[in-house]
Amino acid sequence: MAQPQQSDGAGTGKPPLRVGMVGYAFMGAAHSQGWRTAGRVFDLPMSPELAVVCGRDAIGVRAAADRHGWADTETDWRALVERDDVDLVDICTPGDSHAEIAVAALAAGKHVLCEKPLANTVAEAEAMADAAEQAWHQGRLAMVGFNYRRVPATALARRMVTEDRIGTLRHVRVTYLQDWLVDPAFPLTWRLRREQAGSGSLGDLGAHIVDLAQYLAGERLAGVSALTETFVRQRPLPTAPAGGLATVDATGTGQVTVDDAALFTGRFASGALASFEATRYATGRKNALRIELNGERGSLAFDLERLNELSYHDGTEPRAHAGFRRILVTEPDHPYLDAWWPPGHGLGYEHTFVHQARDLVHAVAEGRTPEPSFADGLQVQRVLAAVEESAEKNSVYTLITA
Amino acid sequence: MAQPQQSDGAGTGKPPLRVGMVGYAFMGAAHSQGWRTAGRVFDLPMSPELAVVCGRDAIGVRAAADRHGWADTETDWRALVERDDVDLVDICTPGDSHAEIAVAALAAGKHVLCEKPLANTVAEAEAMADAAEQAWHQGRLAMVGFNYRRVPATALARRMVTEDRIGTLRHVRVTYLQDWLVDPAFPLTWRLRREQAGSGSLGDLGAHIVDLAQYLAGERLAGVSALTETFVRQRPLPTAPAGGLATVDATGTGQVTVDDAALFTGRFASGALASFEATRYATGRKNALRIELNGERGSLAFDLERLNELSYHDGTEPRAHAGFRRILVTEPDHPYLDAWWPPGHGLGYEHTFVHQARDLVHAVAEGRTPEPSFADGLQVQRVLAAVEESAEKNSVYTLITA
Amino acid sequence: MAQPQQSDGAGTGKPPLRVGMVGYAFMGAAHSQGWRTAGRVFDLPMSPELAVVCGRDAIGVRAAADRHGWADTETDWRALVERDDVDLVDICTPGDSHAEIAVAALAAGKHVLCEKPLANTVAEAEAMADAAEQAWHQGRLAMVGFNYRRVPATALARRMVTEDRIGTLRHVRVTYLQDWLVDPAFPLTWRLRREQAGSGSLGDLGAHIVDLAQYLAGERLAGVSALTETFVRQRPLPTAPAGGLATVDATGTGQVTVDDAALFTGRFASGALASFEATRYATGRKNALRIELNGERGSLAFDLERLNELSYHDGTEPRAHAGFRRILVTEPDHPYLDAWWPPGHGLGYEHTFVHQARDLVHAVAEGRTPEPSFADGLQVQRVLAAVEESAEKNSVYTLITA
Amino acid sequence: MAQPQQSDGAGTGKPPLRVGMVGYAFMGAAHSQGWRTAGRVFDLPMSPELAVVCGRDAIGVRAAADRHGWADTETDWRALVERDDVDLVDICTPGDSHAEIAVAALAAGKHVLCEKPLANTVAEAEAMADAAEQAWHQGRLAMVGFNYRRVPATALARRMVTEDRIGTLRHVRVTYLQDWLVDPAFPLTWRLRREQAGSGSLGDLGAHIVDLAQYLAGERLAGVSALTETFVRQRPLPTAPAGGLATVDATGTGQVTVDDAALFTGRFASGALASFEATRYATGRKNALRIELNGERGSLAFDLERLNELSYHDGTEPRAHAGFRRILVTEPDHPYLDAWWPPGHGLGYEHTFVHQARDLVHAVAEGRTPEPSFADGLQVQRVLAAVEESAEKNSVYTLITA
């Protein structure tokens, strides 16, 4: 067994926080980078250790451990959640296994970080939120990985909303545009099958923008009206087949069972209007999570493709000099930035995971509920369920149950 | 009576096209500029003459005639449409009078240009389209003033769609964002009263984006699902009261009877998805008509606040060099541009009216139906009616009647 | 003779300002549009009349008169400047004829508007400034056509500088980038011959940016250091040869005798630094006149390719919310904008000529020296001469003579 | 002694590359991140180990070692360069100590990575290049840390230039604009003293842009003409005084002995023109390293404040569809990107150091000369010396000695 990689140096006298991570694909790599770096950049109250990584394939998980710096491996998540030398379970698997792992980990006395969306169904998410509620009384914390709250620019936007810089909210418009499904020859991966992914662009992209919109607005959606569409319904099977692809037809293709795109409008509790679009068919848009909030006193806008910038219009300025300003969010008094580089030296995507790790370590050390909580993740799930219900019921406006 | 201002010099031997314009406010000024300039810039087959302008206030209309270069005035539109020395009636009044004037003018044997939206109701628009249909058989033409088709960048976008540069259409997203109602102290003008304006942001801004979306897509919407909202329901009365403000309460305020904002999603006949937002509450957005089309082969995007630019992504490029390109639409081989300035010397808003005049003069001279026709205007009206119906019926998806 | 086109309606009781224009190519068309439109949009104290246009080719000038709305024509500028029915001579010819025409016109008691650069040599410019000085005592005004001072955004920038919004000036950087000479097959027009054009990119583009930089800075350059280059030294002769092309070699090409590009740095009187680049070889840049001023309290930036925008950074803002803001210069309290369209409805290139006409009419009516004066034009000429001298003398820093 | 942090896991069977780093301030933190991360993201042929960090203050260096993950510490760089367990010396100190450390390290048989600028004088840089030349014959490598070559977008730009996508080069224009000295109350740090920093904006920012311009152009500058300026000549002393501040006057201020800003123009060997500006007084510009290359076939532009983007104009496109395109440099076939995140998920500033570590590890493992070499660094130094000489000699054009 190799030495555990510690985000903060041994011998610093800080208590360790031993992480066990389940899954090691895209999200696993990003989370590893977060755990490995957080203590190197931020002065943390505990020292994260990359203790164990878990995956079903023994050879694959060993290689991932070596690559990403995890000290030990497991091939059964049940074994991982029972280990005494793990304090926190970090769940980076597809959505269909989130509930089972998270509930077991909380029951085993671990803190839990779970990737978004929290679950594939409201029922699963409710079970998880219940488990988190009980674990809280045992001093265990649970957090869902809506990492886009932790871009410095979105965190600054939230701070500016709480400072009342935009006033009474009138509009929120959000899109999350990608284009990796435009080619009909793109294969049928697990993300295109309902049994594993739960939904398509809705759960993958829509979950992010629902959370971010509500986080920035500081309030919840009351109801939605939705259209969803699957543009390409049959796709070639991947060379290395994803698990559980039951519906394979004779031509070597399989059925897409999730949405390709989801459009919905909604009302916030306050009466503000919102529009949402999640799609994987916006040719040329690679990761265009764009959000704009218009309030009576000002507006804020953000684009994930330019993540070091926040656009702000101060509506109280004399109109002769007013305009949307581009705040380069790299100043030491911007969120998270005092620990990084001088002004103008931007951050990247993965830094959201460093910040997520930082914030969770602080929450654990201080016994505070981390945000977004499983209850927050459940509420997003309810919005997604209302979207699906509306889409099935001819777009009729559908209230979000509390 | 002053000499008529001619867009093309007298003595050129070109047949005149004598214009009579009804209304002389914002749109009247813009149309005057269009008629006055078209023949100076373009080599037209007929010579437009600014013959008569009509307004109810004799002093006001005389001042407008002097300012804008109209040779004569009338104070009753009925007199104007009957004049022998008028070939074309240009209607720049609020929407509640469009139908009556247009039908009378066509009946009197005039060509008609009518500002958008075509009418305040589907019934009115149907009457107008019927009248246009009959007049067509008499050799009289009718056109509706969706001037944003005539920005060189949008015309280029349309040309590129017809050249199949974006392929099978997947998404159209359009917003038209303004902010002039953000201040609750802004007075209750005629645009905020249903009886004159027909609707609020929907008819004013929404009509533009419905037309532009369908024009660029080259197909029609099949159905819509909508939310509308009036954020500020009481506003102070204007100092000089607009006509017909019946509902004035004791506090010196009156009721806003139109929508402040309208959000709707829809499906095109082909199955492509569309989203629309029209609002006057987007703080800091002055005239942000933004439209993006995503197709299987490429994407196009336009923003009216940067009207000399068209953004284009060629999805068939190798991805290592692909990206949205900013086409500066000022080249001689761009629509309308061979008559203007050298590359890089941009045009402005009013040029759309010059181009509209140019195109209409050509249509008249050549006996072709101008686009957009009254039938096109009627169809937009039907979309707006479906939006209102959906908004009233809990956002249920509402088909657009043919 | 056709009726003169009047920028303000006949019968308004306003005194006329009868314009005689020499030259009718690109600049002539732009100036015509300016004279024709100014009184339609602005409430002017005099009424400009397009009285006479002059060109050497009788047929060509007649066609231009018809197209642009000039009442009468001349084929000899000497006849034009002597006409009693001309109050103001507008010179739109190449630079080699500016001095002779302007001096004669002023001597004949006319006001003069002269296109930039004022002249091809300092000596010519001095003669012109002297003539203007003498004419001033006779109540005649002279103005040079640096029209880019009259973009609303640059005028706003100047206003903000005078309001001390950028504080002590440190840097001015300006480029004027075009690309129409990139192709070596582009023919040898008059603009590429020293005897007519005086210089190449330096006089054409460099004159604009020197004037604009000094205008916005509110101070003059003290000295410069320069490099110039002619990348392509032989070019094919144009099909219709420009006049005076003496040096034609046997291969059907002729020699380029002006600079293709000019780079220079300089110091303002206050010690601020400046850099300038003028070129016709910046592939893809069509009309990129870009200027940025950095001062101790703020910065301003402008790009002619987006002429309705001004970028402003307020350095006194808390750094957490500071950023370059994009002012959409379309508000009624922006320069020239109260007469145009609602916010967000942008202007174009030609509007600078409308504003130039407006300002000159006011100056004439009020007997004020218009800006930029011939003295200003002479000083720009001296800067250009210093640039050429420095370029010839191994870039040595060269003071600008007073 | 703590366990060394390894960028690649122990037990992977890869040979180690044991790094000893001198200096642990801003650059030390960035380099640590680079060494720590390179083997986690890229599949490297050797395994970098963070073996020893060196600084004069024992407590400070120990804290830095713990924070950044270095196994051991030294307080004398002479001890570090003699250690048997160090394979590569990474020099992150101010420029005045580069030569002595680098020469000693190479003499001691170490590979060397040295921060830019290579040295404070040409003489020092020559000594270093000589030492590197000799060490090369012993199998030891030396590299200078011009990290901006390793932004994926600049690396892509270089690749596109080598693919002849821009053709014959005409222009290069580069600025590096910061604003941290705008406030006259900013203290007199070591960067403002010639004896430590060598020069001001010239060595700090100018060195970067000279290297990047020559790297992208693929050719060297032949000569330059320069202006430099020190706007604020006296500044308050820092609270914790920087070393060697001899010239302190009675008022508690000290003299700035370096340039605040440097402007220079130049010619490339091929005849292309270049302009450069380096300043710390561009209010609102935080890290605006902007470079544009114009060639006969195309143009490329980059801005470090938007480091995930490259702007490209293909001059061979039909002009109707041509325009600068924004390439989002996040595709797997872009340089360095196959190891990172999916398209659209951008990188940040520090990734340049990860890439630098990656490339140097490959060079060491494969015995190749890394780029940029000390000879490259020397040549940049010669350009900077020519700039200073020109600035002293009244801007006269100054050839760069070979």
Q: What is the pLDDT of residues D6-45, one digit of tens each?
A: 444 445 689 999 999 999 999 999 999 999 999 999 999 9
- Closest by CA to D282, choosing from B27, A155, A339, A328, is A328
pLDDT at C86: 98
Bond from prior residue into A152 cis (ω within 30 degrees of 0)? no
CA-CA distance, A300 to B282, in Å (whole number)? 10
What is the spatial distance between Cα B8 and Cα B42, in angstroms, rounded to a whole number?
A: 9
Q: Are A38 and A46 in contact (CB under 8 A)?
A: no
Task: Tell me how many helices (H) and strands (E) chain C has.
Answer: 11, 18
The predicted structure's pLDDT at residue C12 = 62
CB-CB contact of D199 with D259 (8 Å): yes
Reply yes or no on domain C5-147 having CATH 3.40.50.300: no
Task: Report chain A's C-alpha Rg in angstroms.
Answer: 21
Amino acid B1: pLDDT = 38
Residue C146: is its pLDDT beyond 80?
Answer: yes
Q: Describe chain A by its helix, strand, coil percentages, rounded to 5.
A: 35, 25, 40
Predicted confidence (pLDDT) per residue in C242-258, tens digit: 444 444 555 689 999 99
User: Is the Cβ pair B277, A279 closer than 8 Å?
Assistant: no
Contact criterion met (CB below 8 Å) for B209 and B276: yes
Give per-residue burial for B212-249: e unless 16+ CB within 10 Å, then b. Answer: bbbbbbeebbbbbbbbbbbbbeebebeeeebeebeeee
Run of H or E residues at B298: strand B298-303
Residue D95 and residue D191 in contact, taking contact as beta carbons nearer than 8 Å:
no
For residue C401, the model assigns a pLDDT of 86
CB pairs under 8 A between A and D: 116
- pLDDT above 50: residue A130: yes
> Once rounded to an integer, what is the mean pLDDT over residues A58-74?
96
Identify which of C98, C273, C111 has the alpha carbon closest to the alpha carbon of residue C203.
C98
Q: Are B340 and B355 in contact (CB under 8 A)?
A: no
Which has the higher per-residue pLDDT, D190 or D159? Answer: D159
One fold for D5-146 and D148-346+373-398: no
Q: Which CATH number fits domain D148-346+373-398: 3.40.50.880, 3.40.50.300, 3.40.50.720, 3.30.360.10?
A: 3.30.360.10
pLDDT number for residue A227: 98
The domain over range A5-146 is classified in CATH as 3.40.50.720: yes
What's the pLDDT at D238? 85
Amino acid at A316: T
Beta carbons of A326 and C327 less than 8 Å apart: no
End-to-end distance of chain D based on CA atoms, in angstroms? Answer: 48
How confident is the model over B352-368, as a mean pLDDT? 97
Q: How far is B218 from chain D (nearest CA, A)?
A: 20
- Residue C4 pLDDT: 46
How far apart, in whole angstroms, are the C-alpha atoms of residue D244 and residue D189? 11
Sign of the Cα pseudo-torsion (D316, D317, D323, D324, in order): negative
What mean pLDDT comes out for the span C336-362?
97
Residues of A with CB under 8 A from a CB of C: 156, 160, 165, 310, 312-314, 319-328, 331, 333-334
The nearest CA of chain A is from the CA of C218 a distance in Å of 20
Across all residues in chain D, what is the average pLDDT? Answer: 94
* C277 contacts on D by Cβ (under 8 Å): 171, 173, 275
Distances (CA, A) of A9 to A5, A68, A135, B370, D27: 9, 17, 30, 76, 20
CB B206 within 8 A of CB B178: no
Residue A248 clears pLDDT 80, i.e. is over it: no
Question: Of B17-26, B301-310, C221-230, D242-251, which gets the smallest average pLDDT?
Answer: D242-251
Radius of gyration of chain D (CA): 21
| pLDDT for residue C168 | 98
Tell me what pLDDT residue B239 has.
72
- Mean pLDDT for B45-58 is 97
Pairing of strands D88-91, D111-115: parallel
Give chain A positions within 8 Å (CB) of C322: 325, 327
- Put simply, the answer to whether D173 touches C229 (Cβ < 8 Å) is no
Q: Look at A170 and B231 and tell me if their CB atoms are within 8 Å.
A: yes
Average of per-residue pLDDT across C281-309? 98
Contacting residues of B for A324, CB less than 8 Å apart: 284
Interval C62-84 mean pLDDT: 97
Neighbour subunits, A (≥3 Cβ pairs < 8 A): B, C, D
What's the confidence (pLDDT) of residue B240?
56
Residue among B300, B325, B333 with most chain D CBs within 10 A, to mutate: B325
Domain ranges of chain D: 5-146, 148-346+373-398
| CA-based nearest distance B88→chain C, Å | 22
A308 and D304 within 8 Å at the Cβ level: the answer is no
Chain mean pLDDT for chain B? 94
Residues 6+ apart with CB under 8 A from B257: B192, B193, B194, B195, B247
Q: How far is B174 from chain C (nearest CA, A)?
A: 17
Question: pLDDT digit string (tens) for B251-266?
Answer: 689 999 999 999 999 9
**Per-residue pLDDT tens over the stretch A171-215:** 999 999 999 999 999 999 989 999 988 999 999 999 999 999 999
Q: Phi and psi of D225, rounded to 5°?
A: -130, 130
Predicted local confidence at residue B249, as pLDDT:
55
Q: Under an 8 A CB cutoff, do B312 and D334 touch?
A: no
How buried is A189 (Cβ within 10 angstroms: 0-12 exposed, 13-18 middle, 19+ buried)?
middle
Cα distances (Å, whole numbers) of residue C274 to C160, C312, C386, D78: 19, 19, 15, 46
**Is domain C148-343+373-398 classified as CATH 3.10.20.30?**
no
φ/ψ of residue D170, rounded to 5 = -115, -45
Q: Which CATH architecture has domain A148-399?
A: 2-Layer Sandwich (3.30)
Q: Is A24 helix (H, G, I), strand (E, B) or coil?
A: coil
Q: Which of A336-345, B101-110, B238-247, D235-244 has the lowest mean pLDDT?
A: B238-247
Contact D346/A345, CB-based, under 8 Å? no
| Chain D residues whose beta carbon lies within 8 Å of the beta carbon of residue A204 | none
pLDDT at B8 over 50: no
Angle, vertex CA B25, rays to CA B336 and CA B352, nearest 5:
10
SS3 C281: coil
* ipTM of the prediction: 0.94
The minimal CB distance from C320 to the residues A313, A320, A333 is found for A333
Would you call A163 exposed, middle or buried from its count of C-beta atoms within 10 A (0-12, 13-18, 19+)? exposed
Look at chain D and count its residues.
Answer: 402
> pLDDT, tens digit, for every residue of C20-51?
999 999 999 999 999 999 999 999 999 999 99
- DSSP-derived letter for residue C368 is P
Q: Does the pLDDT at position C1 exceed 60? A: no
d(CA A286, CA B294): 13
List of chain A residues whose C-beta atoms are within 8 Å of the C-beta of residue D12? 66
Q: Which residues contact D263 (CB under 8 A, 6 or more apart)?
A: C265, C273, C275, D226, D227, D228, D275, D276, D277
CA distance B116 to chain A (A): 26
For an interface test with A, the pick among D340, D341, D352, D353 (most A C-beta atoms closer than 10 Å) comes out as: D341
When pLDDT is cut at 50, 70 and 90, the band that residue A249 belongs to is: low
- The beta-carbon neighbor of D284 closest among C229, C283, C324 is C324
D378, pLDDT greater than 70: yes
The closest of D265, A185, A224, A202 to C262, measured between CA atoms, is: D265
Q: For the residues C96-106, what does the mean pLDDT come to?
A: 97
- Tokens representing D41 are 């993201």
- pLDDT category of residue B242 using cuts at 50, 70 and 90: very low
C320 has a pLDDT exceeding 60: yes
What is the secondary structure of C179-220 as a DSSP string?
Answer: -TT-STTS---GGG-HHHHSSSHIIIIIHHHHHHHHHHHTS-
Chain B residue numbers touching A305 (CB-CB < 8 A): none
Task: Please state the rounded mean pLDDT for residues A132-147.
Answer: 97
Give the model confidence (pLDDT) of D199-233 as tens digits.
999 999 999 999 999 999 999 999 999 999 999 99
Tell me if C202 sits within 8 A of C194, measured CB to CB: no
Q: Are A322 and C322 inside 8 Å of each other by CB?
A: no
Chain D's closest residue to B300, CA to CA, is D321
What is the tens place of the pLDDT at every residue in D268-297?
Answer: 999 999 999 999 999 999 999 999 999 999
Select from B233, B226, B286, B223 the least CA-distant residue to B260.
Answer: B233
Taking an 8 Å cut-off on Cβ atoms, the answer to whether C321 and A334 are in contact is no
> Coil, strand or helix: which one is A86?
coil
**CA pair distance C267, A214, nearest whole angstrom:** 53
Cβ pairs C/D, distance under 8 A: 145
Q: Which residues of chain C have a CB within 8 Å of the CB of A314?
A: 321
What torsion, rounded to 10 degrees, do the Cα atoms D86, D87, D92, D95 define?
110
Residues 6+ apart with CB under 8 A from D62: D73
For residue A83, name the pLDDT band (cuts at 50, 70, 90): very high
Q: Which of D156, D326, D333 sits opposite B324 (nearest CB)?
A: D326
Asked if residues D21 and D4 have their Cβ atoms less than 8 Å apart, the reply is: no
Q: How far is A72 from chain B (nearest CA, A)?
A: 38
Average pLDDT (A390-399) is 98
Residue C286 and residue B330: Cβ atoms within 8 Å?
yes
Question: What is the third-level CATH fold of B148-347+373-398?
Answer: Dihydrodipicolinate Reductase; domain 2 (3.30.360)
Q: What is the mean pLDDT of residues C184-204?
A: 93
Give the whole-angstrom CA distance, residue B312 versus residue B165: 9
Looking at chain D, which subunits does it touch, using at least 3 CB pairs closer than 8 Å as the criterion?
A, B, C
Which of the two residues, B242 and C55, has the higher pLDDT score? C55
**B45, exposed or middle or buried, with CB in 10 Å at 0-12, 13-18, 19+?**
middle
Q: What is the pLDDT of residues B111-127, one digit of tens each?
A: 999 999 999 999 999 99
Q: Is the pLDDT of residue D242 over 70?
A: no
- Which whole-number Å values give the CA distances from C351 to B325, C150, C339, D35, in the listed order? 27, 8, 12, 57
**Which residues in chain C are closer than 8 Å to B3, comparing Cβ atoms?**
3, 10
